[in-house]
Amino acid sequence: MTEQRKRICIVGGVAGGASTAARLRRLDEHAEIIIFERDEHISFANCGLPYYIGETIMQREKLLVVTPQLMKNRFNLDVRVFSEVIGVDFANKTMTVRNTNTSSYELAYDALVLSPGAKPLRPPIPGIESSRIMTLRNLADMDRIKQVIDQSDAQQVVVVGGGYIGIEMAENVAHRGLKVTVVEAAPHILAPFDTDMVVFAEQELQANGVELVLGDSVTAFEENFVTLKSGRQVFADLVILAIGVQPDTAFLQDSGLELGPRGHILVNQHMQTNQNGVYALGDAVEVVHYINQQKTAIPLAGPANKQGRIVADHICGLDSKYKGTQGTAIIKVFELTAASTGFNERALQATGMKYHVVHVHPNSHAGYYPGASQLSLKLIFGENGEIYGAQAMGKEGVDKRIDVIATVIRMGGTVDDLTELELCYAPPFSSAKDPVNLAGFAAQNILVGLVAVVMPETLLQQLPEGVLLVDVRSAAEHSRGAIPHSLNIPVDELRDRLDELHAVDEVWVYCQVGFRGYVASRILQQYGFQRVKNISGGYKSYSMLTNH
């Protein structure tokens, strides 16, 4: 007697669902695997959509990762496009599927994988149903936006939302020659980055003609205007709404599946739900943050693919576990690259965790080799050297530095490990002391008590009484721009001018990027100055906060 084949149904394709199906087939040649996708395309490069609109990617077919026919031929999968799962009966292990012709049918399953993804938020703002207001989720959305830009006389676009999708859309629409205004309700764009870092990206956008309206929100969409809470009206031929996403799980409400407060599906380490034989993954699930193991939602393609592999493994009897998401991400902002991993300061403050911060601004590779450019790296770490997060901005070399730090975090490493890493070095690629090493050295100096630091934002307020601010750069550097009320004593002259400092209670020193300030602080401490602090990141970090 032939054993009946196991039927595994997967709801949703793209990153999570498609990778689950492919892994399942590699592990089980005989299972019946069915993918249900309500749209036309089973797997496409959704991260590439803005770049097709901006015509960096010229061939639309390049965005089609795999086709239903390829999945059938290579993996023997039953791919059903234009098929929407509208309900699940977990008790009887059946699901209801609706075709595009509105007919529906029921199908039983042995195992069910839910990968419905997330959909763009569309809050109930007056006028939001206008055809001029578009969102970007799939190829059809991409085609509509590109058609408007290609075939109309649109000249001005308002992008509502300063997250990753919003900023990518702003850049790509600007590449097409349109005037772009980004409206963001928060004080700054790109929420994963702290204020002292995100200003680099904001200045890059403004330098390329993108107007930023920060700390203001939309109250109404009118015929040719976007009305803001401040009362300002911004003209718009086209509005791109990118204010965030929500899990696309409405069809699972009241089904018995356990959902989180915002509609995310709750899963364990094996990506199992509370229903027998039912798994979930991708943007629709709630995960734990790798660093503190607290529940969160981080919609990224990388984790979705990894979760798909874990789901397939567990269905097939392998004990794979998902250990959490740390939120490593990167974005191109014109000529700038911005990347981050782990927690930022705001997140740590919300948790009440104690932490330290260092800023370094080294060159991307050896300064004497042509083409070196400065990058800015921020490291956030704990009392015992544990690494909580990192952020970096620059023209080149940003990705590999954040990738290295993200790897050290995942391996449970500390700032001591950053100092010991042996990384690739040749003048065209790095320096003998890589920026990652330098960040580790700076953090290590704080933890062992060799230096105390002050964050640059502290200087935006009045100096505490009894504090003398000393600029240890050269006189020429000081004359080109300095922090107000600072005394200029170049570090090379410091030992000979100590008498100018003895009448003060505390000395704060700074240089251009932090290293000479560290040298100066060590000199002063060893000459008997007990209260000395170095401005983290130096004048570079301060000037970015003040737009100097």
CA dist 205 and 167 (Å) reads 9
User: Which pLDDT band, with edges at 50, 70 and 90, does 41 fall under?
Assistant: confident
Residue whose C-alpha is closest to residue 108's, from 121, 97, 120: 97
DSSP H or E run through 475: helix 475-480
The predicted structure's pLDDT at residue 3: 60
CA dist 307 and 293 (Å) reads 16
Segment 495-508, tens digit of pLDDT? 999 999 988 889 99
Whole-Å CA distances, 132 to 150, 164, 240? 15, 21, 8
Structure token pair of residue 351 = 């948790």
> Directed axis angle between helix 195-207 and helix 164-175, to 10°?
20
Q: What is the mean pLDDT of the chain?
A: 94
Q: Which position among 9, 47, 316, 424 bears the catalytic label?
A: 47
Q: What mean pLDDT is predicted for residues 326-343? A: 97
The predicted structure's pLDDT at residue 101: 73
Would you identify the CATH topology of the domain 453-546?
Oxidized Rhodanese; domain 1 (3.40.250)
Strands 133-134 and 118-120, how do they pair? unpaired
Count the residues in the chain: 548
User: Which pLDDT band, with edges at 50, 70 and 90, does 93 fall under?
Assistant: very high
CATH 3.10.50.40 describes domain 7-117+246-315: no
CA angle centred on 24, ends 62 and 262, rounded to 5°: 75
Name the residue with tokens 């939302």.
Answer: 161
Segment 4-21, tens digit of pLDDT? 789 999 999 878 899 999
Three-state SS letters, 341-354: EECCHHHHHHHCCC
Same topology between domain 7-117+246-315 and domain 133-243: yes
User: Which pLDDT band, with edges at 50, 70 and 90, does 1 fall under?
Assistant: very low
Is residue 316 annotated as a catalytic residue, yes or no? no
- For residues 98 and 106, is the Cβ–Cβ distance under 8 A? no
The predicted structure's pLDDT at residue 196: 94
User: Which pLDDT band, with edges at 50, 70 and 90, does 66 fall under?
Assistant: confident
Q: Where are the domains of the chain?
A: 7-117+246-315, 133-243, 335-447, 453-546
The predicted structure's pLDDT at residue 4: 76
- Percent of the chain clearing pLDDT 70 (strictly above): 99
Structure token pair of residue 270 = 């094996």
Segment 238-286, tens digit of pLDDT? 999 999 999 999 999 999 999 999 999 999 999 999 999 999 999 999 9
- For residues 182 and 167, is the Cβ–Cβ distance under 8 A? yes
The predicted structure's pLDDT at residue 37: 92
Which of 3.30.1950.10, 3.40.605.10, 3.50.50.60, 2.160.20.10 would CATH assign to domain 335-447?
3.50.50.60
Structure token pair of residue 78 = 């039953």
Region for 542 from its dihedrals, namely left if φ exceeds 0, alpha if ψ lies in -120 to 50, beta otherwise: alpha
- The superfamily in CATH containing domain 133-243 is FAD/NAD(P)-binding domain (3.50.50.60)
- List the single range of 296-300, 355-359, 447-451 with lowest mean pLDDT: 296-300
User: Which pLDDT band, with edges at 50, 70 and 90, does 313 fall under?
Assistant: very high
